[in-house]
A and B are shown apart, each in its own frame.
Chain A
Amino acid sequence: MRIVRNEDGFVLPFIAILLMALFLVGAIILDVGSFYLRHGELQPLAKQSANAGILKFVDAMEGKAEQNKSAFCNVEEPPAVCSSEDMFDFLTSGEIVDLVSSPTVQEAVSDASIAFLTMYDPQLIIGNENIQITFPYEYEGVSELQIQVIISDAPQRFLEGIFPVTDDEIQVHAISYIATPF
């Protein structure tokens, strides 16, 4: 009973407990902060990677248009359309659909997106297992010429040892598209 009433050295254990609580708060601040920072890095990266993928598809369309143009315009008196710089003047909607459905083109688009992500991730830690590319990506049937990039990443957590929460993954989505006149 005397022990309970004895207030000797009361502040020291009190502060020790308080300090632990404060350090916990600090770790939470760091965890949440690094989570948001990584999310801030990944979101534009996903968008730019989707752009890189769609540009690869533009390459394929330009290649096909160039091929058609030389076949169509290499004559003695080429028609007026041959002076056009617009690739869509030398492509049909069917040819674009063929390109979209071609596994080679799909792979090239996907590879371009992945290459951008792995090369230009500011922390250089994204691996193929963190990336999901969908091309062509159909969104409410609007267009076939869309690409979707999903990146998943789990930032390093200071509290991992204390609270082993598993659903702490960052996931960002981005879509890029190219509009055609068809």
Chain B
Amino acid sequence: MKKLWQDQHGQALGETALLLPLLFLIVFGFLQLGLAIADKQKLLYVTNYAVQVGSLSNNDLKISGAIEEFYDGNDITFQIESHDGETGNVILNTNRKYKDILTVSMQKPFFLTIPFLDVAVNDTQTTSSAKVLCTNLTPPYTCE
């Protein structure tokens, strides 16, 4: 037994085998981190784009359409909120008009990229706001 304990053959292999899963986890974690950042960057871009479309059209359907250009799945949720341009008070979306403020918030779950598993770890959230500018527009934009 003592002889076996003192035998150092394959020691490096044993230590490496112990630590390799940890290393793998860390490298895998970095990969997920990069993907999560890229995911949020895309969501941010789409939110800003949707707000821009809303600002120029003042049309909630066009905002939904702008979001669907990028995301067609069911994972995406978004809210459209309107504020009075002068007071900042929340108003109904249907009452939103020129110079009021439009806010679009989007949420998307982030899935870990693990083969055969869809694990949603966190909701990525973004928000963007703009003043409604729908006046003196040129086609294809129209003001409702």
Contacts and interface: CB of A to CB of B under 8 A. Distances in A.
A18 interface: yes
Contact of A33 (B37, B55, B85, B88): B37
A127 interface: no
A144 B118 CA distance: 55
Interface residues of B, number: 35
> Which are the 3 A-B pairs with shortest beta-carbon distances?
A11-B15, A33-B37, A120-B129
A134 to B, nearest CB: 19
B64 interface: no
Contacts of B33: 26, 29-30, 33
Interface of A: 7-12, 15, 18-19, 22-23, 25-26, 29-30, 33, 36-37, 40-41, 44-45, 48, 51-52, 55, 59, 116, 119-120, 122
B107 interface: no
A122 B23 contact: no
10 contacts: A8-B11, A11-B19, A12-B15, A29-B30, A30-B33, A36-B41, A44-B52, A44-B130, A48-B130, A51-B133
Secondary structure dominating the interface of A:
helix
Given A29-B37, A55-B133, 5 more contacts: A22-B23, A23-B26, A33-B37, A51-B133, A120-B129
Nearest to A22: B26
B29 A26 contact: yes
A37 B29 contact: no
A116 B131 contact: yes
Contacts of A7: 8, 11-12
A29 B33 CA distance: 8
A122 B12 contact: no
Contacts of B57: none
Interface stretch (B43-51, B69-77, B109-117): B43-51
Contacts of A25: 30
A11 B16 CA distance: 7
Contacts of A122: 126-128
A12 B11 CA distance: 11
Nearest to A16: B19
A41 B30 CA distance: 23
B53 interface: no
B62 interface: no
Given A33-B37, A55-B99, A15 B131 contact: no
